[in-house]
A = this chain, B = another copy of it.
Amino acid sequence: MYRTHNCGELSLNQKGEKVTLSGWVQKIRNKGFIIWIDLRDRYGITQLVFDNDRTSKEVYEKAQLINREYVIQISGVVLERESKNPEIVTGSIEVLVEKLNILNKSETPPFTIEDKTDGGEELRMKYRYLDLRRNSIKNNLIFRHKVTMEVRNFLSKDGFIDVETPCLIKSTPEGARDFVVPSRMNPKEFYALPQSPQTFKQLLMVGGLDKYFQIVKCFRDEDLRADRQPEFTQIDCEMSYVNQEDILNQFESLIVYLIKKINNKTVTSFPRIKYEKAILNYGTDKPDIRFDMKIHELNSLAKNKGFNVFDKEELIVAISVPNAASYSRKQIDNLTDWVKKPQIGANGLVWVKYESENNIKSSVDKFFNLSEIKKWIKKCNSTPGDLILIISGEKKESRVQIGNLRLKMAEDLGLRNPQDFAPVWITDFPLFYWDEELKKYNSMHHPFTSPKADDIKFIDSNPEKVKANAYDLVINGNEIGGGSIRIHDTELQRKILKILGFSDKEAERQFGFLMKSFQYGAPPHGGIAFGLDRLVAILKGKETIRNFIAFPKNNNGRDVMIDAPSEIDSKQLNELSLLLKSNK
């Protein structure tokens, strides 16, 4: 037996007991006549002591050979420590070592295995197995495990069945790019890896499973933006005989439960904001509503007053930042620089300091008189102490810009506490959007999303007017999940695919099986999928998903630890009836 206890559990309760421990050497302090070693495992750290008087010569000498990250096994007696460390469970004891067994040596690690390591990200990715030993990464993985266990048990208790859907499916070029898998047994044919189990979960509903969930790997061959992974994990759910309200309530209760159980925070019923309203008020369909600071439109008050900067633009939008009227000239200049960065792209920033009723300053004093500016203040519901920030420009862009500024201001003012959770449902998305590049309509969510019953009449005449039974869950400005009520009628599905530019033949080839299934009694159904990686990060108060994935890939889709992808041998290619294309 390698151990009687782990390194995180001994206390004065075991005083005088003989114990055996195994673990890694975290730290060594050698005073010549006495050696202390911190022994570490997943569960904690226990202090070992070797001393000239009480430890046998043989063991004492062996202890001198030990280095950081050596794997050792010891036996000894639990003693009360003289200087206790109340910070850790084992802080009142130490183990006087009687037997020592070096289980494995270690070279000096390329970076320190400490909470604050000296290793850069690339190095830590290459030696991910060493990075996993650090508390921060290890605890993230344990945290993720806790979340998934809670999710599964909650859904199972509510009657959802965990069903595995296949990984080797059919390529559907619609949407993001598929990863494909050449078939050896069916030469020149390919499987695709699922971007989501969408069609399969719908077929499970047609099959009468009623309530389905799965925590499942999905794949997207996208050019990776920062913090995206080619493989990611979804909590995938679907229900039959439900309308939108049923689904929002079901999954609201899941999120409320998680935040309570995991974070011990109480959130109550989530606000529901229509897509259009979210864009108007927050400049985004992923609003952070931990704070208010809504966007106000000043067109009617500020246009055509002779200020060219405003007059020439489509839209003038403002936010009123609480308690920021005291911002210095320099601070405001910095904000102006910030909005003019290419990533934000605004032309500039107009400001009004509303210090008090009698003390109002602005950057456009020359163009607007006090009574005009007071109208802006009123429009923005400002209170004394507010700083009003104004951006003008093209309609869409300036709304996005002021939305970004809104987030920055909240960040600066400490209004975005990661331990506060402000979930919100965004509803009533448009069914389609016009893709300028491809000159065709695309689905805002996916082609299986049902239109609102009242809007079906506009489907031919004015597709952009059609709203969808679709919804997103947003927490703290991050999209955590999204879903919809699905189409369950063959004819409507065919029509939607036509509007999306599918020929009848192509629609049949790609989705014929689904439309066929609808002819055999498909029930009304709908569902949702949550991004697990993101959800876990948010619940932990973080935003970088990579730290919540055991073996992430880098921005080129490479696993630098195992060096994948890599070349394969010609025999493999041959068996797959494939050739590599020579360079052009």
Which listed residue, B144, B188, B523, touches A71 by the CB 8 Å rule? Answer: B523
Total number of A residues with any Cβ neighbor in B under 8 Å: 126
Q: Does A435 contact B (CB under 8 A)?
A: no
In this complex, what residue of B is CB-closest to A170? B564
B189 near A179 with CB under 8 A, answer no
Closest CB-CB distance, A487 to chain B, in whole Å? Answer: 11
Closest CB-CB distance, A360 to chain B, in whole Å? Answer: 54
B185 near A556 with CB under 8 A, answer yes
B185 near A520 with CB under 8 A, answer no
Give bound CA distance, A495 to B291, whole Å. 62
Give bound CA distance, A144 to B144, whole Å. 24
In this complex, what residue of B is CB-closest to A513? B562
Closest CB-CB distance, A516 to chain B, in whole Å? Answer: 8
Give bound CA distance, A129 to B517, whole Å. 7
Closest CB-CB distance, A413 to chain B, in whole Å? Answer: 37
Give bound CA distance, A488 to B518, whole Å. 54
In this complex, what residue of B is CB-closest to A555? B185
How many monomers of this chain does the complex have?
2
B557 near A183 with CB under 8 A, answer yes
Which listed residue, B25, B184, B577, touches A221 by the CB 8 Å rule? Answer: B184
Q: A148-B162, A567-B190 are in contact. Are A243 and B2 (CB under 8 A)?
A: yes
Q: Does A166 contact B (CB under 8 A)?
A: yes
Q: A148-B162, A207-B133, A557-B185 are in contact. Are A572 and B523 (CB under 8 A)?
A: no
Give bound CA distance, A188 to B582, whole Å. 10
Chain A residues 205-244 with CB under 8 Å of chain B are: 206-211, 217, 219, 221, 223-224, 230-231, 233, 241-243
Q: Does A507 contact B (CB under 8 A)?
A: no
Q: Does A200 contact B (CB under 8 A)?
A: yes
In this complex, what residue of B is CB-closest to A185? B557
Q: Does A70 contact B (CB under 8 A)?
A: yes
Chain A residues 462-495 with CB under 8 Å of chain B are: 488-489
Q: A521-B24, A521-B71 are in contact. Are A129 and B207 (CB under 8 A)?
A: yes
Closest CB-CB distance, A132 to chain B, in whole Å? Answer: 3
Which listed residue, B209, B223, B224, touches A132 by the CB 8 Å rule? Answer: B209
A189 near B550 with CB under 8 A, answer no
A189 near B519 with CB under 8 A, answer no
B523 near A22 with CB under 8 A, answer yes
Give bound CA distance, A129 to B208, whole Å. 8
Q: Could you say which of A84-92, A149-157, A365-373, A375-383 contacts chain B?
A: A149-157
Q: What B residues does A34 contact at CB under 8 A?
A: none
A166 near B553 with CB under 8 A, answer yes
Give bound CA distance, A571 to B178, whole Å. 12
A488 near B576 with CB under 8 A, answer no
Q: Does A404 contact B (CB under 8 A)?
A: no
Q: Does A499 contact B (CB under 8 A)?
A: no
A551 near B179 with CB under 8 A, answer no
Give bound CA distance, A488 to B124, whole Å. 21
Which listed residue, B168, B188, B568, B578, touches A564 by the CB 8 Å rule? Answer: B168
B521 near A69 with CB under 8 A, answer yes
B163 near A513 with CB under 8 A, answer no
Which listed residue, B167, B551, B558, B580, touches A186 by the CB 8 Å rule? Answer: B558
B170 near A562 with CB under 8 A, answer yes
Q: A42-B209, A183-B557, A520-B129 are in contact. Are A565 and B191 (CB under 8 A)?
A: yes
A132 near B207 with CB under 8 A, answer yes
A581 near B579 with CB under 8 A, answer yes
22 A-B pairs in the complex with CB atoms less than 8 angstroms apart: A24-B521, A42-B209, A69-B521, A104-B488, A129-B517, A132-B209, A133-B207, A148-B162, A149-B153, A149-B156, A149-B162, A164-B549, A168-B231, A169-B564, A171-B566, A180-B572, A182-B182, A185-B556, A185-B557, A186-B558, A200-B550, A513-B563
| 8 A-B pairs with the lowest CB-CB distances in the bound complex, closest first | A132-B207, A106-B521, A2-B241, A170-B564, A189-B565, A42-B210, A183-B565, A69-B521
